Each structure stands twice: as structure tokens, then as C-alpha cells.
Amino acid sequence: MSFLDIYGHEKQIAILKQALAQNRVGHSYLFSGIDGAGKKTLALELAKVLNCEKADEINDSCEKCPVCLKIKRHNHPDIFLIEAEGQFIRIAAIREIQEQMTFRPMEGKKRVYVIDNADRMNEQAANALLKTLEEPSASNILILVTAKPYTLPSTIISRCRHMRFNPVAIDTVTKFLIERQNMEKQSALLLAGLSGGSISQALELNKEDVIAYRAEILKMLASTKKSDPMSLLAFASFFGQDKREIKQGFNILQSCFRDALVYKETSNNQMLINQDETSFIASLAERLTGSQILQNIALLEKAFETMEHNVNKTLTLETMAFKLQL
């Protein structure tokens, strides 16, 4: 993988390439954005470019030199991925970084540390890292990766070059799945729409039978009657108790209501995520008003947000089912 193989972060790549070309790469970076947006991927690619034997010529990694091959195999002695052991990244991991930084890189031009989920540093580790950031070393680069930058001490954030990663656009995720995974357009569009702007989430969804799960949800949605309390309770219980499965089911529902709103306003099925279910989407758009569709989307968001705070899942799902406009 090179910069050319990374989808959806052209702005961030352009900034990094300019810094590389001008030999003005910072000693510390903070990459923040939703989980699965590609932050760690770009961080590791930057580590590769900083050490690639041909980087000065092409301003990218060549993918062929011994350095690139070692980094791809995760056995380069100067590239480190720091991750939590258990719940936290502990001070011992940061002290090991500090000790290594006193020496020159073993083989590469730069020694690079990528601290994944940097928000999971405990207080002692964060304080130790701050000392490292205050005394930067020219041959060492730190890249902090997090989906929760607001949990990091402001003193750490202020000492890093902060690069924010937005969710990847649906059409970009779709393009990646078609070009890199040889996926059919309709399947790619569906997975991209359910991915929340995360290529890694789209790839994870591809391992599961999402299309079959969507079919079950649409069948339940079609048979559930607002006037029948038992069918509403059955609809609520369908989602089970696993938070991840509930989130996936809600994403599918939201994609349907989103499509219904788009179809209601445009009558254009080419703009739908669920293009292969146009007839169902059209019937949904016909029987619901625009305000009812928007209410349903907001209701699903609120229900999952409530469950994130460990509120009773069964009660939340049943309340959601009875409030949905069907």
C-alpha cells in the first residue's frame, strides 16, 4: 500500500506530502476521527514513506525496497505500533519509548511510534508522554491515533499537529469495494451505506450475511402493524440484546428511511442505498410523510444513544417500536 492506495483522505495526504517535500515533517501528530476511518493506515503509511529508500524521488513509498517490505511484514526495527494491554496503555509502554529514543534508529532514517487508541493511556502514561513531547528528538516521530481526542489532555493536543479525519464518503467507500474487493455495485453500495463512512467497517460487514439480515428486517418492517401491539413487540424483540447487532439493524432501518425520504423528494432510485429494494422503498415513501420519516430516523438515533448509556435494552427497543411511524 502507498499513498495512492488510500481512499478518501486526499487533503490529509496532500498536507503530509507537502511536509515531506519541504523536509518539514513534525515530530508529533494527532490523527483523530471515527473508528475505521483510516487513521492508523495512513499513520503506518507515513512511517513507511519516511523510511523508504526511493521516497525522495517519488514522495511516496515504492513498495519494493527492503525497507518497505520489512514494514509491510511488520518486522522493521524502527517502526512501532503501541496498543493497549487490556483496558489501558500503561506507563511502562511510554517509558520504553523514552528509553529507545535516547538511541539513533537502528536501520531507518526515522524511528516512528504509532500509538493506537491513544485515549486509552492512563493518567501516568499520558503525563509521561507529555514529557516526551516537550523534549522532541529529531530522529523520532510520534503519531497518536484516536477516535476520542477530547479525552486527551489539552497539553498533549497542543504539542501535536492535529489532523482530523472525516467519515469517508459513501461513493468513495463504494469505489474502494468495487475496485479493491471486486464487489458487485449493488452489494458495494449497500455495504458503503451501512458502513458509517468507515472502509474497515464495510469490510467487516462483508464477512457477514448482511443482505440476508436486511431481508429479514424488511420482512418484519412490512408485516408490523401500528394497530397490533403484539406485532410491535415482536418487531422490538427481533433485534435481540447484542448491542453490535442492534446497531447494525438500526443502520439498516435508517438506510431504508433515508432512501424513502430521498425517493419521496426525487423519485430517483439511482440515489438510493437499497436500489435493489426500490419497490419496498417506494411503498414506504408513499405511506409516510416527510416529517414522519425524519421522526423515525431521529427516533432510531435516540434509541441507540440511550442504550449506549446501559439503559434497559428491552424497554428501549419496545418504546422505539411503539413510537415508530409505520
Residue range 281-314, pLDDT digits in tens: 999 999 999 999 999 999 999 999 998 888 899 9
* Contact between residue 219 and residue 252 where contact means Cβ atoms under 8 Å apart: no
CA 113 to CA 306: how far, in whole Å? 37
Count how many residues are written for the chain. 326
Cell of 156: 498533549
Domain topology for 208-323: Zinc Finger, Delta Prime; domain 3 (1.20.272)
Q: Model-level pTM?
A: 0.80
Q: Give the number of other CB atoms < 10 A from CB of residue 231.
A: 16
Domain boundaries, the chain: 3-165, 208-323
Please state which of the four CATH numbers 3.40.50.300, 3.20.20.220, 3.40.50.10320, 3.20.20.70 is assigned to the domain occupying 3-165: 3.40.50.300
pLDDT at 208 over 90: no
Number of H helices and E strands in the chain, helices first, is 16, 5
Give residue-wise pLDDT tens across range 106-157.
999 999 999 999 999 999 999 999 989 988 788 999 999 999 999 999 999 9
Mapping DSSP to helix (H, G, I), strand (E, B) and coil, where does residue 165 land?
Answer: strand
Closest residue by Cα to residue 235 from 118, 136, 310, 326: 326
CA 318 to CA 237: how far, in whole Å? 8
| pLDDT band at residue 196 using 50, 70 and 90 as cut-offs | confident
Give residue-wise pLDDT tens across range 103-120.
999 999 999 999 999 999
Mapping DSSP to helix (H, G, I), strand (E, B) and coil, where does residue 30 land?
Answer: strand
